[in-house]
Amino acid sequence: MKPNLRIVMSLAAAGLIGLQHGGEVSAQQPLTPEPVYDSAAGTFISVEELIERLTGADVVYVGETHTNYAHHLAQLDILKGLHASNPRLVMGWEMFHSSQQPLLDAYTGGWLPEVEWLDAIYWKQTWGHPYSYYRPLLDYARDNGVRVFGLNAPRAVVRGVRTLGREGMTEDLAYWLPAGFWDRIHIDTEKPYEEWFMENARHSEDMTDDMMKLMFCSQTAWNEIMAWNIVKAFNVIPDPGVQVLVIVGSGHAIFGQGIPTRVALLRSDFKQVVVMPYTSDRVMPLDEILEEEMGLEGDYIWFVPPAGDPPDLERPGPPEDPPPSHRP
């Protein structure tokens, strides 16, 4: 049976499987003038047109495979374009949790040097992927006064949902869950996302259906907490012109579901747009896009050229003993 490219790339983006790149990355070649696929229209547009369209959204999600530098450079282009149009732009990050907000404000405000900041937020325990992938985005935010919001909760919360369930959650872990979470795990508007997750996120044959159901509960908790923090950003900055750019693994917004679905439960009036970067040295023809059903993944699919590894890939090592709230 022919491998389903959409499923393979989606799982990689979600961090559920890893993709190994053999050999050297080919030299970057300019793509066609229109490397962005508009899923609704079934046509191609330029990056400039994409950014112009994104300016009308309240929340813009730009997905990523966490260790794909090309995806982060695409995120940077969108950050620069949106910020040039709207200086009130803020960013929401999956990679930080909300209790780290004072440290995020200190770094983007220019009050903490990078090495001290990485130590203070316990980067390795909090996220773990090399910081070099994210440095250009955070450098731009710091140098241009773009506020960064942490969207996530400590990993122990998501793990607790999966391993303890509703009845076993301790009070300190349950504190992080939005009110009514357990009654909203399965919702009609998120059926395609739930089906995709249940079909493709099974790590091994030993995982039972009950284990998969608990995994989906933890994924939903992850999405709900981030959605709640996105909406909170609009309350923290009560400016009608504010816009939130969300930096997140693609598996949290695929099909325009996951986090976007949960945001819509809180603010149905928000216009949300999902951009999915797809690494390729060419623009996929329309018939291939339709065959692989790539247009279902996001409002826009951006074919970005491979970028190799970021410079200075090593990161400073964090302290050995993080506080309990930061432990994975």
- Residue range 31-314, CATH number: 3.40.50.11550
CA distances from 166 to 161, 183, 236, 268 (A): 7, 10, 30, 27
Residue type, 314: E
Segment 242-258, tens digit of pLDDT: 999 999 999 999 999 99
Instruction: Please tell me the distance from the alpha carbon of residue 232 to that of residue 168, in angstroms, as a whole number.
Output: 28
User: What local confidence, expressed as pLDDT, does residue 32 receive?
Assistant: 54
User: What local confidence, expressed as pLDDT, does residue 65 receive?
Assistant: 95
Confidence of residue 261 (pLDDT cuts 50, 70, 90): very high
Instruction: Please tell me the distance from the alpha carbon of residue 114 to that of residue 155, in angstroms, as a whole number.
Output: 23
* Structure tokens that stand for 282 in this block: 């060419």
Q: Is 145 helix (H, G, I), strand (E, B) or coil?
A: coil
Strand 59-62 and strand 243-247: the pairing is: parallel
Q: Does 314 score more than 80 pLDDT?
A: no
* Mean pLDDT value across residues 311-322: 58
User: What local confidence, expressed as pLDDT, does residue 125 receive?
Assistant: 86
Instruction: Please tell me the distance from the alpha carbon of residue 297 to that of residue 276, in angstroms, as a whole number.
Output: 7
Task: Kindly state the DSSP code that residue 251 receives in the 8-state scheme.
Answer: G
The residue ranges of every structural domain in the chain are 31-314
Segment 166-198, tens digit of pLDDT: 889 999 999 999 999 999 999 999 999 999 998
Please give the mean pLDDT across all residues of the chain: 85
User: What local confidence, expressed as pLDDT, does residue 28 receive?
Assistant: 44
Torsion on CA atoms 181, 239, 276, 302, rounded to nearest 10: 170
Of 12, 40, 79, nearest to 246 (Cα)? 79
Segment 278-305, tens digit of pLDDT: 999 889 999 999 999 999 999 999 999 9
Q: Where are the alpha helices (DSSP H) in 145-269?
A: 155-168, 171-174, 191-200, 209-236, 259-266
